[in-house]
Chain A
Protein backbone atom coordinates (compact mmCIF):
# COMPACT_ATOMS: atom_id res chain seq x y z
CA UNK A 1 0.00 0.00 0.00
CA UNK A 2 2.84 2.40 0.82
CA UNK A 3 2.07 6.06 1.48
CA UNK A 4 -1.34 7.36 2.50
CA UNK A 5 -3.34 9.87 0.48
CA UNK A 6 -2.50 12.55 3.03
CA UNK A 7 1.22 11.78 2.78
CA UNK A 8 1.12 12.11 -1.00
CA UNK A 9 -0.89 15.32 -0.87
CA UNK A 10 1.46 16.90 1.65
CA UNK A 11 4.55 15.85 -0.26
CA UNK A 12 3.43 16.63 -3.82
CA UNK A 13 0.86 19.44 -3.44
CA UNK A 14 2.74 21.82 -5.74
CA UNK A 15 2.35 19.29 -8.56
CA UNK A 16 -1.40 19.02 -8.00
CA UNK A 17 -1.72 22.78 -7.73
CA UNK A 18 0.11 23.26 -11.01
CA UNK A 19 -2.12 20.63 -12.58
CA UNK A 20 -5.26 22.36 -11.30
CA UNK A 21 -4.00 25.68 -12.64
CA UNK A 22 -3.48 24.05 -16.02
CA UNK A 23 -6.96 22.54 -15.99
CA UNK A 24 -8.61 25.85 -15.11
CA UNK A 25 -6.52 27.69 -17.67
CA UNK A 26 -7.22 25.31 -20.55
CA UNK A 27 -10.92 25.12 -19.74
CA UNK A 28 -11.13 28.89 -19.52
CA UNK A 29 -9.36 29.45 -22.83
CA UNK A 30 -11.47 26.80 -24.58
CA UNK A 31 -14.78 28.17 -23.30
CA UNK A 32 -13.83 31.81 -23.91
CA UNK A 33 -12.65 31.28 -27.47
CA UNK A 34 -15.43 28.73 -27.93
CA UNK A 35 -17.97 31.35 -26.86
CA UNK A 36 -16.82 33.84 -29.45
CA UNK A 37 -16.84 31.22 -32.16
CA UNK A 38 -20.05 29.66 -30.85
CA UNK A 39 -21.84 33.02 -30.90
CA UNK A 40 -20.88 33.44 -34.54
CA UNK A 41 -22.09 29.92 -35.32
CA UNK A 42 -25.38 30.53 -33.49
CA UNK A 43 -26.10 33.67 -35.52
CA UNK A 44 -25.26 31.89 -38.73
CA UNK A 45 -27.65 29.13 -37.68
CA UNK A 46 -30.38 31.71 -37.09
CA UNK A 47 -29.81 33.27 -40.48
CA UNK A 48 -32.54 33.25 -43.06
CA UNK A 49 -30.19 31.84 -45.68
CA UNK A 50 -31.08 28.15 -45.60
CA UNK A 51 -27.77 27.01 -47.04
CA UNK A 52 -25.39 28.70 -44.60
CA UNK A 53 -27.62 27.90 -41.63
CA UNK A 54 -27.50 24.27 -42.78
CA UNK A 55 -23.69 24.35 -42.87
CA UNK A 56 -23.66 25.73 -39.32
CA UNK A 57 -26.00 22.95 -38.17
CA UNK A 58 -23.72 20.33 -39.70
CA UNK A 59 -20.76 21.89 -37.85
CA UNK A 60 -22.63 21.75 -34.54
CA UNK A 61 -23.92 18.23 -35.07
CA UNK A 62 -20.56 16.78 -36.08
CA UNK A 63 -18.77 18.30 -33.08
CA UNK A 64 -21.49 17.27 -30.65
CA UNK A 65 -22.01 13.89 -32.21
CA UNK A 66 -18.40 12.67 -32.04
CA UNK A 67 -16.29 12.09 -28.90
CA UNK A 68 -13.92 14.85 -27.88
CA UNK A 69 -11.10 12.33 -27.60
CA UNK A 70 -11.55 11.40 -31.26
CA UNK A 71 -11.56 15.09 -32.20
CA UNK A 72 -8.32 15.53 -30.25
CA UNK A 73 -6.66 12.64 -32.05
CA UNK A 74 -7.68 14.03 -35.41
CA UNK A 75 -6.44 17.48 -34.51
CA UNK A 76 -3.22 16.28 -32.84
CA UNK A 77 -2.08 13.61 -35.28
CA UNK A 78 -4.02 13.97 -38.48
CA UNK A 79 -3.88 17.74 -39.04
CA UNK A 80 -0.04 18.04 -38.95
CA UNK A 81 0.16 14.94 -41.11
CA UNK A 82 -2.21 16.35 -43.69
CA UNK A 83 -0.58 19.79 -43.68
CA UNK A 84 3.15 19.37 -42.95
CA UNK A 85 3.69 23.11 -42.54
CA UNK A 86 1.73 22.86 -39.30
CA UNK A 87 4.50 20.79 -37.71
CA UNK A 88 6.32 23.96 -36.75
CA UNK A 89 3.51 24.87 -34.37
CA UNK A 90 3.55 23.77 -30.74
CA UNK A 91 1.45 20.63 -30.30
CA UNK A 92 -0.40 22.26 -27.40
CA UNK A 93 -2.31 24.34 -29.90
CA UNK A 94 -3.74 21.30 -31.62
CA UNK A 95 -5.22 20.05 -28.39
CA UNK A 96 -6.56 23.53 -27.65
CA UNK A 97 -8.05 23.66 -31.13
CA UNK A 98 -10.05 20.51 -30.49
CA UNK A 99 -11.18 21.76 -27.08
CA UNK A 100 -12.19 25.15 -28.49
CA UNK A 101 -14.08 23.83 -31.49
CA UNK A 102 -15.84 21.28 -29.32
CA UNK A 103 -16.84 23.96 -26.85
CA UNK A 104 -18.00 26.30 -29.63
CA UNK A 105 -20.57 23.73 -30.76
CA UNK A 106 -22.06 23.48 -27.28
CA UNK A 107 -21.98 27.25 -26.83
CA UNK A 108 -23.72 27.72 -30.19
CA UNK A 109 -26.58 25.57 -28.93
CA UNK A 110 -26.63 27.45 -25.62
CA UNK A 111 -26.91 30.80 -27.40
CA UNK A 112 -29.47 29.58 -29.89
CA UNK A 113 -31.51 28.11 -27.05
CA UNK A 114 -31.19 31.31 -25.03
CA UNK A 115 -32.43 33.43 -27.90
CA UNK A 116 -35.18 30.93 -28.68
CA UNK A 117 -36.40 31.05 -25.09
CA UNK A 118 -37.38 34.72 -25.38
CA UNK A 119 -41.09 35.13 -26.06
CA UNK A 120 -41.69 35.78 -29.79
CA UNK A 121 -44.12 38.49 -28.68
CA UNK A 122 -41.08 40.56 -27.70
CA UNK A 123 -39.83 40.54 -31.28
CA UNK A 124 -43.30 41.33 -32.58
CA UNK A 125 -43.68 44.27 -30.21
CA UNK A 126 -40.26 45.66 -31.13
CA UNK A 127 -40.77 45.25 -34.86
CA UNK A 128 -44.26 46.75 -34.67
CA UNK A 129 -42.68 49.88 -33.20
CA UNK A 130 -40.48 50.14 -36.27
CA UNK A 131 -37.22 48.86 -34.80
CA UNK A 132 -35.03 47.03 -37.28
CA UNK A 133 -34.12 43.39 -36.98
CA UNK A 134 -30.67 44.12 -35.55
CA UNK A 135 -31.95 46.79 -33.14
CA UNK A 136 -34.51 44.28 -31.91
CA UNK A 137 -31.86 41.61 -31.44
CA UNK A 138 -29.39 43.90 -29.65
CA UNK A 139 -31.75 45.91 -27.47
CA UNK A 140 -34.69 43.60 -26.82
CA UNK A 141 -33.84 39.94 -27.38
CA UNK A 142 -30.20 39.54 -26.31
CA UNK A 143 -30.55 41.38 -22.97
CA UNK A 144 -33.32 38.95 -22.08
CA UNK A 145 -31.54 35.90 -23.52
CA UNK A 146 -28.42 36.63 -21.46
CA UNK A 147 -30.29 35.51 -18.36
CA UNK A 148 -30.46 32.01 -19.77
CA UNK A 149 -27.15 32.10 -21.58
CA UNK A 150 -24.81 33.12 -18.74
CA UNK A 151 -25.65 30.30 -16.30
CA UNK A 152 -25.50 27.79 -19.16
CA UNK A 153 -22.05 29.11 -20.09
CA UNK A 154 -21.03 28.61 -16.46
CA UNK A 155 -22.16 25.01 -16.72
CA UNK A 156 -20.26 24.63 -19.98
CA UNK A 157 -17.13 25.81 -18.17
CA UNK A 158 -17.72 23.21 -15.46
CA UNK A 159 -18.20 20.51 -18.08
CA UNK A 160 -15.03 21.66 -19.86
CA UNK A 161 -13.04 21.40 -16.63
CA UNK A 162 -13.81 17.70 -16.68
CA UNK A 163 -13.28 17.38 -20.43
CA UNK A 164 -9.77 18.85 -20.27
CA UNK A 165 -8.76 15.70 -18.39
CA UNK A 166 -8.43 14.17 -21.85
CA UNK A 167 -5.69 16.68 -22.66
CA UNK A 168 -3.40 14.87 -20.23
CA UNK A 169 -3.30 12.06 -22.77
CA UNK A 170 -1.44 14.50 -25.03
CA UNK A 171 1.03 15.56 -22.33
CA UNK A 172 -0.56 18.89 -21.54
CA UNK A 173 0.18 19.78 -17.94
CA UNK A 174 -3.22 19.67 -16.33
CA UNK A 175 -4.71 17.87 -13.35
CA UNK A 176 -4.94 14.46 -14.98
CA UNK A 177 -1.35 14.71 -16.15
CA UNK A 178 -0.16 14.70 -12.51
CA UNK A 179 -1.19 11.05 -12.50
CA UNK A 180 1.42 10.32 -15.16
CA UNK A 181 4.10 12.26 -13.29
CA UNK A 182 3.48 10.51 -10.01
CA UNK A 183 3.15 7.10 -11.63
CA UNK A 184 6.83 7.45 -12.40
CA UNK A 185 7.40 7.57 -8.64
CA UNK A 186 5.38 4.36 -8.24
CA UNK A 187 2.41 6.24 -6.83
CA UNK A 188 -0.77 5.08 -8.55
CA UNK A 189 -3.92 4.90 -6.47
CA UNK A 190 -3.28 7.87 -4.15
CA UNK A 191 -2.96 10.46 -6.95
CA UNK A 192 -6.10 9.13 -8.58
CA UNK A 193 -8.18 9.65 -5.45
CA UNK A 194 -6.67 13.08 -4.91
CA UNK A 195 -7.38 14.09 -8.51
CA UNK A 196 -10.99 12.89 -8.23
CA UNK A 197 -11.35 14.86 -4.99
CA UNK A 198 -9.98 18.05 -6.53
CA UNK A 199 -12.29 17.79 -9.57
CA UNK A 200 -15.25 17.22 -7.27
CA UNK A 201 -14.51 20.17 -5.01
CA UNK A 202 -13.89 22.52 -7.92
CA UNK A 203 -17.02 21.54 -9.84
CA UNK A 204 -19.20 21.65 -6.72
CA UNK A 205 -17.95 25.11 -5.81
CA UNK A 206 -18.45 26.39 -9.35
CA UNK A 207 -21.93 24.78 -9.57
CA UNK A 208 -22.86 26.60 -6.40
CA UNK A 209 -21.66 29.84 -8.00
CA UNK A 210 -23.71 29.20 -11.13
CA UNK A 211 -26.83 28.54 -9.04
CA UNK A 212 -26.32 31.86 -7.25
CA UNK A 213 -25.88 33.67 -10.56
CA UNK A 214 -29.04 32.03 -11.90
CA UNK A 215 -31.02 33.26 -8.91
CA UNK A 216 -29.69 36.77 -9.24
CA UNK A 217 -30.42 36.99 -12.94
CA UNK A 218 -33.96 35.72 -12.58
CA UNK A 219 -34.90 38.50 -10.16
CA UNK A 220 -36.15 40.75 -12.96
CA UNK A 221 -38.83 38.24 -14.04
Chain B
Protein backbone atom coordinates (compact mmCIF):
# COMPACT_ATOMS: atom_id res chain seq x y z
CA UNK B 1 0.00 0.00 0.00
CA UNK B 2 1.52 3.26 -1.05
CA UNK B 3 0.69 6.05 1.36
CA UNK B 4 0.26 8.79 -1.23
CA UNK B 5 -2.97 7.37 -2.68
CA UNK B 6 -6.25 8.78 -1.36
CA UNK B 7 -7.74 6.26 1.01
CA UNK B 8 -11.35 5.16 0.38
CA UNK B 9 -12.07 5.44 4.08
CA UNK B 10 -10.00 7.25 6.64
CA UNK B 11 -10.57 7.86 10.31
CA UNK B 12 -8.64 10.50 12.19
CA UNK B 13 -8.40 10.25 15.97
CA UNK B 14 -11.89 8.73 16.12
CA UNK B 15 -13.40 8.68 19.60
CA UNK B 16 -16.76 7.44 20.76
CA UNK B 17 -18.24 7.55 24.23
CA UNK B 18 -21.47 5.97 25.38
CA UNK B 19 -22.25 8.12 28.38
CA UNK B 20 -19.18 7.89 30.54
CA UNK B 21 -17.92 4.76 28.85
CA UNK B 22 -15.09 5.41 26.40
CA UNK B 23 -15.54 2.79 23.70
CA UNK B 24 -13.18 4.20 21.07
CA UNK B 25 -10.17 6.05 22.36
CA UNK B 26 -8.73 7.58 19.22
CA UNK B 27 -8.48 5.44 16.10
CA UNK B 28 -6.63 6.70 13.04
CA UNK B 29 -6.73 4.27 10.16
CA UNK B 30 -6.79 4.22 6.38
CA UNK B 31 -8.58 1.72 4.21
CA UNK B 32 -7.73 1.72 0.52
CA UNK B 33 -9.79 0.76 -2.51
CA UNK B 34 -9.72 -2.98 -3.15
CA UNK B 35 -8.44 -3.82 0.30
CA UNK B 36 -9.98 -6.56 2.41
CA UNK B 37 -9.57 -5.66 6.05
CA UNK B 38 -10.66 -7.92 8.88
CA UNK B 39 -11.19 -6.58 12.37
CA UNK B 40 -10.73 -9.02 15.23
CA UNK B 41 -10.61 -8.62 18.97
CA UNK B 42 -12.40 -9.40 22.21
CA UNK B 43 -16.08 -8.58 22.76
CA UNK B 44 -16.59 -5.06 24.05
CA UNK B 45 -13.27 -3.95 22.64
CA UNK B 46 -14.88 -1.50 20.22
CA UNK B 47 -14.62 -3.29 16.88
CA UNK B 48 -18.34 -3.13 16.01
CA UNK B 49 -18.55 0.47 17.21
CA UNK B 50 -15.59 1.34 14.98
CA UNK B 51 -17.30 -0.28 11.98
CA UNK B 52 -20.59 1.45 12.72
CA UNK B 53 -18.80 4.79 12.85
CA UNK B 54 -17.62 4.30 9.27
CA UNK B 55 -21.12 4.97 7.89
CA UNK B 56 -22.12 7.05 10.88
CA UNK B 57 -24.70 4.65 12.27
CA UNK B 58 -22.87 5.73 15.40
CA UNK B 59 -22.04 9.41 15.57
CA UNK B 60 -18.44 9.84 16.69
CA UNK B 61 -17.92 11.85 19.85
CA UNK B 62 -14.87 13.46 18.25
CA UNK B 63 -12.49 12.89 15.38
CA UNK B 64 -13.20 12.55 11.69
CA UNK B 65 -14.52 9.94 9.30
CA UNK B 66 -13.55 10.60 5.68
CA UNK B 67 -15.11 8.74 2.77
CA UNK B 68 -13.33 9.42 -0.52
CA UNK B 69 -11.97 12.52 1.14
CA UNK B 70 -15.39 13.89 2.19
CA UNK B 71 -15.90 14.43 5.87
CA UNK B 72 -18.96 12.40 6.83
CA UNK B 73 -19.48 13.77 10.32
CA UNK B 74 -19.73 17.32 9.06
CA UNK B 75 -23.14 18.98 9.15
CA UNK B 76 -23.08 20.14 5.52
CA UNK B 77 -22.31 16.67 4.15
CA UNK B 78 -25.23 14.84 2.53
CA UNK B 79 -24.84 11.67 4.52
CA UNK B 80 -27.59 9.77 2.68
CA UNK B 81 -25.78 10.23 -0.60
CA UNK B 82 -22.58 8.77 0.82
CA UNK B 83 -24.37 5.96 2.60
CA UNK B 84 -25.75 4.83 -0.76
CA UNK B 85 -22.18 3.93 -1.64
CA UNK B 86 -21.29 2.20 1.63
CA UNK B 87 -22.96 -1.20 1.91
CA UNK B 88 -23.52 -2.75 5.30
CA UNK B 89 -24.36 -6.24 6.46
CA UNK B 90 -25.55 -6.84 10.00
CA UNK B 91 -25.21 -9.68 12.45
CA UNK B 92 -29.02 -9.96 12.72
CA UNK B 93 -29.51 -9.68 8.92
CA UNK B 94 -32.19 -6.97 9.31
CA UNK B 95 -33.98 -8.02 6.16
CA UNK B 96 -37.33 -6.26 5.71
CA UNK B 97 -39.95 -8.83 6.76
CA UNK B 98 -42.89 -7.02 5.17
CA UNK B 99 -41.30 -7.01 1.71
CA UNK B 100 -40.83 -9.88 -0.69
CA UNK B 101 -37.26 -10.98 -1.30
CA UNK B 102 -37.02 -9.08 -4.57
CA UNK B 103 -38.56 -5.94 -3.07
CA UNK B 104 -36.03 -6.08 -0.24
CA UNK B 105 -33.40 -5.63 -2.93
CA UNK B 106 -35.12 -3.11 -5.18
CA UNK B 107 -36.48 -0.73 -2.55
CA UNK B 108 -33.26 1.23 -2.04
CA UNK B 109 -32.22 1.59 -5.72
CA UNK B 110 -35.77 2.62 -6.65
CA UNK B 111 -36.37 5.00 -3.72
CA UNK B 112 -33.02 6.71 -4.25
CA UNK B 113 -33.78 6.94 -7.99
CA UNK B 114 -30.65 5.04 -8.88
CA UNK B 115 -32.64 2.73 -11.15
CA UNK B 116 -36.17 2.44 -12.47
CA UNK B 117 -38.27 -0.33 -11.02
CA UNK B 118 -37.79 -2.53 -14.09
CA UNK B 119 -34.02 -2.03 -14.15
CA UNK B 120 -33.75 -2.64 -10.43
CA UNK B 121 -35.77 -5.86 -10.70
CA UNK B 122 -33.63 -7.20 -13.53
CA UNK B 123 -30.52 -6.45 -11.53
CA UNK B 124 -32.00 -7.94 -8.37
CA UNK B 125 -32.78 -11.20 -10.14
CA UNK B 126 -29.24 -11.39 -11.45
CA UNK B 127 -27.89 -10.78 -7.96
CA UNK B 128 -30.18 -13.41 -6.45
CA UNK B 129 -28.89 -15.82 -9.05
CA UNK B 130 -25.31 -15.29 -7.85
CA UNK B 131 -26.22 -16.29 -4.29
CA UNK B 132 -28.52 -19.17 -5.22
CA UNK B 133 -31.77 -17.47 -4.21
CA UNK B 134 -33.33 -16.80 -7.61
CA UNK B 135 -36.18 -19.23 -6.89
CA UNK B 136 -37.03 -17.32 -3.69
CA UNK B 137 -37.52 -13.93 -5.36
CA UNK B 138 -41.27 -13.82 -4.74
CA UNK B 139 -41.20 -15.30 -1.23
CA UNK B 140 -41.31 -13.33 1.98
CA UNK B 141 -38.16 -13.46 4.11
CA UNK B 142 -39.91 -15.56 6.78
CA UNK B 143 -39.59 -18.51 4.41
CA UNK B 144 -35.81 -18.20 4.31
CA UNK B 145 -33.25 -19.83 6.57
CA UNK B 146 -30.78 -17.69 8.50
CA UNK B 147 -28.08 -18.25 5.91
CA UNK B 148 -30.45 -17.34 3.10
CA UNK B 149 -31.53 -14.20 4.92
CA UNK B 150 -27.92 -13.13 5.29
CA UNK B 151 -27.19 -13.78 1.63
CA UNK B 152 -30.28 -11.70 0.81
CA UNK B 153 -28.96 -8.93 3.07
CA UNK B 154 -25.64 -9.02 1.22
CA UNK B 155 -27.19 -8.68 -2.23
CA UNK B 156 -29.57 -6.02 -0.93
CA UNK B 157 -26.50 -3.95 -0.06
CA UNK B 158 -24.80 -4.84 -3.36
CA UNK B 159 -27.81 -3.62 -5.34
CA UNK B 160 -26.72 -0.07 -4.51
CA UNK B 161 -23.37 -0.83 -6.18
CA UNK B 162 -21.39 0.36 -3.20
CA UNK B 163 -17.71 1.25 -3.17
CA UNK B 164 -17.17 -0.66 0.03
CA UNK B 165 -18.96 -3.33 2.04
CA UNK B 166 -18.99 -3.29 5.83
CA UNK B 167 -19.70 -6.61 7.54
CA UNK B 168 -20.62 -6.58 11.22
CA UNK B 169 -20.09 -10.13 12.48
CA UNK B 170 -22.04 -11.52 9.51
CA UNK B 171 -22.01 -15.14 10.63
CA UNK B 172 -22.33 -14.79 14.41
CA UNK B 173 -26.09 -15.29 14.47
CA UNK B 174 -26.07 -18.24 12.08
CA UNK B 175 -26.45 -21.93 12.77
CA UNK B 176 -23.08 -23.60 12.17
CA UNK B 177 -24.19 -25.35 8.99
CA UNK B 178 -25.19 -22.00 7.46
CA UNK B 179 -21.87 -20.25 8.03
CA UNK B 180 -19.98 -21.70 5.10
CA UNK B 181 -22.42 -20.54 2.44
CA UNK B 182 -22.34 -16.97 3.70
CA UNK B 183 -18.55 -16.90 4.02
CA UNK B 184 -18.25 -18.16 0.46
CA UNK B 185 -20.33 -15.25 -0.78
CA UNK B 186 -18.17 -12.77 1.13
CA UNK B 187 -15.00 -14.43 -0.10
CA UNK B 188 -16.27 -14.24 -3.67
CA UNK B 189 -16.87 -10.52 -3.22
CA UNK B 190 -13.45 -10.00 -1.70
CA UNK B 191 -11.81 -11.82 -4.59
CA UNK B 192 -13.77 -9.78 -7.13
CA UNK B 193 -11.98 -6.69 -5.87
CA UNK B 194 -14.69 -5.24 -3.64
CA UNK B 195 -13.31 -3.27 -0.73
CA UNK B 196 -14.43 -5.07 2.41
CA UNK B 197 -14.20 -4.30 6.10
CA UNK B 198 -15.19 -7.34 8.10
CA UNK B 199 -15.67 -7.57 11.86
CA UNK B 200 -15.47 -11.29 12.52
CA UNK B 201 -14.85 -14.05 14.99
CA UNK B 202 -14.03 -16.48 12.19
CA UNK B 203 -10.25 -16.46 12.49
CA UNK B 204 -9.67 -19.01 9.76
CA UNK B 205 -11.74 -16.93 7.39
CA UNK B 206 -10.00 -13.69 8.35
CA UNK B 207 -6.67 -15.33 7.72
CA UNK B 208 -7.75 -16.64 4.35
CA UNK B 209 -9.40 -13.57 2.77
CA UNK B 210 -7.77 -10.54 4.36
CA UNK B 211 -5.07 -8.29 3.02
CA UNK B 212 -4.79 -6.78 6.43
CA UNK B 213 -5.98 -7.60 9.94
CA UNK B 214 -6.69 -5.06 12.67
CA UNK B 215 -6.71 -6.22 16.27
CA UNK B 216 -8.93 -3.82 18.24
CA UNK B 217 -8.89 -4.05 22.01
CA UNK B 218 -9.68 -1.50 24.70
CA UNK B 219 -10.86 1.06 22.15
CA UNK B 220 -7.64 1.24 20.15
CA UNK B 221 -6.02 -0.66 17.30
CA UNK B 222 -3.63 -2.63 19.44
CA UNK B 223 -1.95 -4.23 16.45
CA UNK B 224 -2.34 -4.35 12.69
CA UNK B 225 -0.60 -6.21 9.92
CA UNK B 226 -0.90 -8.89 7.28
CA UNK B 227 -2.75 -12.05 8.31
CA UNK B 228 0.59 -13.74 8.58
CA UNK B 229 2.03 -11.06 10.86
CA UNK B 230 -1.01 -11.08 13.14
CA UNK B 231 -1.77 -14.78 13.25
CA UNK B 232 1.75 -16.25 12.99
CA UNK B 233 3.96 -13.64 14.62
CA UNK B 234 1.87 -11.38 16.85
CA UNK B 235 3.97 -8.77 18.62
CA UNK B 236 1.56 -7.27 21.15
CA UNK B 237 1.10 -9.47 24.25
CA UNK B 238 -2.66 -8.71 24.15
CA UNK B 239 -2.87 -10.06 20.61
CA UNK B 240 -1.02 -13.17 21.66
CA UNK B 241 -3.32 -13.67 24.62
CA UNK B 242 -6.45 -13.15 22.53
CA UNK B 243 -5.31 -15.52 19.80
CA UNK B 244 -4.31 -18.14 22.36
CA UNK B 245 -7.88 -18.03 23.65
CA UNK B 246 -9.70 -18.22 20.33
CA UNK B 247 -7.48 -20.47 18.24
A and B held together in a complex: yes
Most B CB within 10 A of own CB, among A125, A131, A139, A144: A125
Would you call A220 and B96 a contact (CB within 8 A)?
Answer: no
CB-defined contacts of B81 to chain A, threshold 8 Å: 130
Whether A124 sits at the interface, judged by CB under 8 Å, is yes
A122 → B minimal CB distance (Å): 6
Whether A129 sits at the interface, judged by CB under 8 Å, is yes
Whether B28 sits at the interface, judged by CB under 8 Å, is no
Whether B98 sits at the interface, judged by CB under 8 Å, is yes
Contacting residues of chain B (40-82) with chain A, CB-CB under 8 angstroms: 55, 57, 80-82
Would you call B83 and A129 a contact (CB within 8 A)?
Answer: yes
Whether B205 sits at the interface, judged by CB under 8 Å, is no
Whether A127 sits at the interface, judged by CB under 8 Å, is yes
Q: Among the listed B57, B84, B85, B87, which residue makes an inter-chain contact with A124, where contact means beta carbons less than 8 Å apart? A: B57
| In the complex with contacts A128-B57, A129-B157, A139-B107, A121-B84 CB distance below 8 A | no
Q: Among the listed A121, A128, A220, which residue makes an inter-chain contact with B83, where contact means beta carbons less than 8 Å apart? A: A128
Residues of B in contact (CB 8 Å), total 28
CB-defined contacts of B17 to chain A, threshold 8 Å: none
CB-defined contacts of B156 to chain A, threshold 8 Å: 125, 129
A140 closest partner in B (C-beta): B96
Whether A135 sits at the interface, judged by CB under 8 Å, is yes
Would you call A131 and B94 a contact (CB within 8 A)?
Answer: no
| In the complex with contacts A122-B96, A144-B98, A128-B142 CB distance below 8 A | no
Residues of A in contact (CB 8 Å), total 19
B83 closest partner in A (C-beta): A130
Contacting residues of chain A (106-144) with chain B, CB-CB under 8 angstroms: 119, 121-122, 124-132, 135, 139-140, 143-144
Most A CB within 10 A of own CB, among B84, B98, B157: B98
CB-defined contacts of A90 to chain B, threshold 8 Å: none
Docked pose: A132 CA to B140 CA in angstroms: 24
Would you call B157 and A119 a contact (CB within 8 A)?
Answer: no
Would you call A121 and B94 a contact (CB within 8 A)?
Answer: yes
CB-defined contacts of A122 to chain B, threshold 8 Å: 94, 96
Docked pose: A144 CA to B94 CA in angstroms: 13
CB-defined contacts of B115 to chain A, threshold 8 Å: none
Whether B190 sits at the interface, judged by CB under 8 Å, is no
B139 → A minimal CB distance (Å): 11
CB-defined contacts of B55 to chain A, threshold 8 Å: 128
Would you call B111 and A139 a contact (CB within 8 A)?
Answer: yes
CB-defined contacts of B140 to chain A, threshold 8 Å: 220
Would you call B97 and A130 a contact (CB within 8 A)?
Answer: no
Residue positions of B touching A, CB distance < 8 A: 55, 57, 80-88, 90, 92, 94-98, 107-108, 111-112, 140, 142, 153, 156-157, 160
Q: List 14 A-B contacts (CB under 8 A).
A: A121-B90, A122-B96, A124-B90, A124-B94, A125-B156, A126-B96, A128-B86, A129-B156, A130-B84, A130-B112, A131-B108, A131-B111, A131-B112, A220-B97
Residue positions of A touching B, CB distance < 8 A: 119, 121-122, 124-132, 135, 139-140, 143-144, 220-221
